[in-house]
Structure 1
């Protein structure tokens, strides 16, 4: 069996015994039905991994004995911040999961004029918690040892107005530039992906005013979740560590 990778929300220290978080203990003890003595791998977001053996598995929880930590950097040289207008249902979860697998460092959920999702207060807080769990699970699966940031949701213009020296990109079906025509080198990108109905003309003009460059992916109209993953992949091939 493949050794399970488990995220631990607190700093890990070599040669110590720790108690797994409630979610991790449930996964290890109830889902995987692991027993004392079996091996797991832990990471805490510091870009280190810790091999560990289970010291205790019972109703009170799961304890693990850590070995020495090892630096394990699987991060792309491209720092990519995705601004994603919130999409309906599982599409947003899919986008978060797959974009993290592809190396995105930061994700900011956005509200725009044509955003079809209405979230506020407690419902929005629960969604953010859910998206954070999806981010953790994606890192556990794909081997990343730094946890990408899922930021609080905000209006589109507020995000566009943030001071940032990154290359700012907005996907547009009638743009004159493609990702392959962007000049090298680039280390930081802020990528905007609009809603299923697209950005309004006023919003597109607003992004231009804040220094965003319109880029084209190809001749076909893609769904919002397809657009995000296609653009991220193309950027990683051009500036990052894919291909």
Structure 2
């Protein structure tokens, strides 16, 4: 059954118009009044809904029964990544949502090719949140990955949750899978990963000084958008 995210709180019996993107999708699927879809608002669980009317650009639905279905990972993993080029960030947001990351914080690093500030940063965050919502629809998540506001490297240190790990190219660092196997199933982790070209030596030293422990993924050098996803797969393999 098609699934759609809506930003307003849902309740049984409520009637509402679907967001523009969801309405277009319903029309592309050629659904008709009386057809059923699934809605979620990010507060937990999902709702059945029945299409009641379709216009040229508007689709009206009536909210039905709530199901307390959760598909979230047991372990909350908070990904913090140096801001990358737009297409790579979009791909990372999408795949991190599918894998089950709890949040993603863009970090403005020395080597970040995309320098965002002010209104431009807010628009980009809104875009990434829309990417996360679409990935949540596809993957079955009923709670959206939280795409947080962009932080500077120093601001991140005060916002990190739980165990702090830094993805590093240092071959002497412990392997991620070895450390992950020692975590409690529900232990929160903040995973810090660099942009294209990685963090500068100064940034990596500052991260270590603030409590981030370097971890290593193996002998091959992964792209900036691939490395955090490989780490997420290890950390979230228990579901």
State if a TM-score over 0.5 links the two structures.
yes
The answer to whether structure 1 residue 178 and structure 2 residue 179 are counterparts is no
Match of 2:164 among 168, 174, 188: 168
Deviation of 1:60 (Å): 5.9
CA separation of 1:60 and 1:181: change in aligned 2, threshold 3 A: closer
Match of 2:61 in 1: 64
Match of 2:10 in 1: 12
d(CA) in 1 for partners of 2:225 and 2:127?
18
The DSSP-based 3-state class of the residue aligned with 1:177 is: coil
Tell me the TM-score normalized by structure 2. 0.93
Match of 1:52 among 49, 55, 58: 49
Match of 2:111 among 114, 131, 138: 114
Deviation of 1:137 (Å): 0.1
CA separation of 1:25 and 1:102: change in aligned 2, threshold 3 A: same
d(CA) in 2 for partners of 1:120 and 1:167?
29
Match of 1:83 among 80, 104, 114: 80
Match of 1:205 in 2: 205
d(CA) in 2 for partners of 1:221 and 1:161?
29
Match of 1:140 among 121, 137, 140: 137
Q: Is the 8 A contact 1:80 1:188 kept in 2?
A: yes
Q: Is the 8 A contact 1:161 1:210 kept in 2?
A: no
Structure 1 unaligned runs (5+)? none
> Could you give the per-residue CA deviations for residues 182-204 of structure 1, whole angstroms, max 9, x where no partner exists?
12315100000101111111111
The answer to whether structure 1 residue 26 and structure 2 residue 24 are counterparts is yes
C-alpha RMSD over aligned residues: 1.5
Deviation of 1:155 (Å): 0.7
Q: Which moved more, 1:182-191 or 1:17-26?
A: 17-26
> Could you give the per-residue CA deviations for residues 131-176 of structure 1, whole angstroms, max 9, x where no partner exists?
0110100000000000121111111121023364x01010111142
Deviation of 1:116 (Å): 1.3
Tell me the TM-score normalized by structure 1. 0.92
> Could you give the per-residue CA deviations for residues 42-100 of structure 1, whole angstroms, max 9, x where no partner exists?
11112211111100011362111222101011001010111011111310000000001
Structure 2 unaligned runs (5+)? none
**Ranges of 4+ aligned residues in structure 1 off by more than 6 Å:** none
